[in-house]
């Protein structure tokens, strides 16, 4: 059995990617263990009196003096957002008859993805053209399927 990981964020394009993979890679997905990954960014301080919190491409800035309580609140908020993203993705998978395991963690997405590839023996990563992950799959047996977004003519 292969292990397939789909990488998503809060964008609608990520859910389109998930649906595309479930419909167009059906044989591979059905015969594999499926993981869905969404990152929780690390909180950073730039400048020292501004707390930055981001999920995917969205960033929230808190103009306060950072303290442990504020950092904890930002981390909790990031966790809730990531879990919400993953819950929606899990429901999409279930609607397509696929049971998926969700993964989220705090940190640099590329480092986290490398770690997951090794720990979970991921054979295939499905991602969008917005995410550059070629370096993550170097020196592994993991293939990378990049799904390009099609422009719709209305």
pLDDT in tens, 95-138: 999 999 999 998 888 888 889 999 999 999 998 865 567 777 77
Quick: pLDDT tens for 12-65.
888 999 999 999 999 999 999 999 999 887 665 444 444 455 555 555 555 555
Per CATH, the number for 2-42+63-146 is: 3.40.50.620
Quote the pLDDT of residue 59. Answer: 55
Please tell me the pTM assigned to this model.
0.78
- CA dist 76 → 40, 41, 53, 69, 99 (Å): 10, 12, 11, 10, 26
> What DSSP character marks residue 57?
T
Domains in the chain: boundaries: 2-42+63-146
Where b means 16+ CB within 10 Å and e means fewer, 35-67 reads bbbbbbbebeeeeeeebbbbbbeeeeebeeebe
Quote the pLDDT of residue 47. Answer: 41
Task: Identify which of 146, 2, 11, 143 has the alpha carbon closest to the alpha carbon of residue 88.
Answer: 11
Quote the pLDDT of residue 19. Answer: 93
Rounded CA-CA distance 120/109 in Å is: 16
More confident residue, 36 or 141: 36
Rounded CA-CA distance 52/42 in Å is: 9
Strand 44-45 to strand 32-40: parallel, antiparallel, or no bridges (unpaired)? Answer: unpaired
Q: What is the mean pLDDT of residues 83-87?
A: 94
Rounded CA-CA distance 29/123 in Å is: 12
- 39 touches 105 (CB < 8 A): yes
Quote the pLDDT of residue 13. Answer: 85
Using pLDDT thresholds of 50, 70 and 90, give the confidence band for residue 87: very high
More confident residue, 52 or 71: 71
Whose tokens are 């400048």? That residue is 47
Quote the pLDDT of residue 121. Answer: 94
């Amino acid at each position: 059995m292969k292990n397939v990981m789909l990488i998503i964020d809060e964008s609608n394009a990520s859910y389109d990617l998930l649906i595309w993979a479930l419909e167009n890679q059906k044989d591979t997905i059905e015969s594999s263990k499926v993981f869905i990954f969404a990152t929780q960014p690390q909180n950073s301080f730039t400048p020292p009196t501004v707390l930055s919190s981001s999920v995917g491409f969205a960033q929230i800035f808190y103009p306060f003096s950072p303290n442990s309580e504020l950092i904890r609140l930002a981390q909790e908020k990031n966790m809730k957002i990531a879990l919400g993203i993953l819950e929606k993705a899990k429901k999409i998978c279930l609607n397509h008859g696929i049971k998926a395991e969700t993964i989220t963690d705090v940190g640099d997405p590329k480092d986290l993805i490398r770690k997951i590839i090794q720990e979970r023996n991921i054979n295939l990563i499905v991602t969008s053209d917005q995410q550059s992950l070629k370096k993550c799959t170097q020196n592994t047996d993991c293939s990378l399927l990049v799904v390009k977004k099609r422009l719709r003519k209305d």
